[in-house]
A and B are shown apart, each in its own frame.
Chain A
Amino acid sequence: GESVGLHLPTLSVQEGDNSIINCAYSNSASDYFIWYKQESGKGPQFIIDIRSNMDKRQGQRVTVLLNKTVKHLSLQIAATQPGDSAVYFCAETFGGATNKLIFGTGTLLAVQP
């Protein structure tokens, strides 16, 4: 499959460990944030989202934390599996009908069996 990015920050974890992927966002006016997972040769796949009036949201094996004070977002993956290996992007947007997604540079998560 195609590479989705070169020279990406890489996080290497052992299978079964917890993973934490961090993201610094750019716009203090952003009010909605999304984490996407992109596997080789595929488009970004929605993982979890959070609005700016929250600081934590949990999904199945994933948790997103939002710190608006320092404009920081993190994605926690519990019990990481080999199928979690992919590039992870955070994206931000702000309100209005013409909102667009602004993506971070991405982090490559490599899960070692």
Chain B
Amino acid sequence: KAGVTQTPRYLIKTRGQQVTLSCSPISGHRSVSWYQQTPGQGLQFLFEYFSETQRNKGNFPGRFSGRQFSNSRSEMNVSTLELGDSALYLCASRTDNYGYTFGSGTRLTVV
């Protein structure tokens, strides 16, 4: 059974640009969550999608957005990138019970 797949693994963007990250959940998992991990702030919740609807959102500015498709795949978008957006972005999927499984993340560097 394939795990959570995130693409790309690494990304370098310039300040002011926008970026789209992709996450393919484990087959059968309908919930997808996104987290940002930085050395200073640790792991912080961005948002969760379930059946194409955003169910929960963390305390991030509106530049951070996401969506989920009918096949449960999810994308997150960050517009007008800032240096502080450099981070490891992690996606986690689960069934509607508790068991979160994380992908390996996308390492975003903003220069």
Contacts and interface: CB of A to CB of B under 8 A. Distances in A.
A2 B87 CA distance: 11
A4 B100 contact: no
Contacts of A42: 104-105
Nearest to B100: A101
Most chain B Cβ neighbours within 10 Å, of A41, A43, A91: A43
A32 B98 contact: yes
Given A5-B39, A102-B45, A103-B43, A43 B56 contact: no
A43 B90 contact: yes
Instruction: Classify chain A: how many residues form its interface, as a range.
Output: 20 to 34
B55 interface: yes
B99 interface: yes
Contacts of A102: 45
Contacts of B99: 46, 49
B100 A43 contact: no
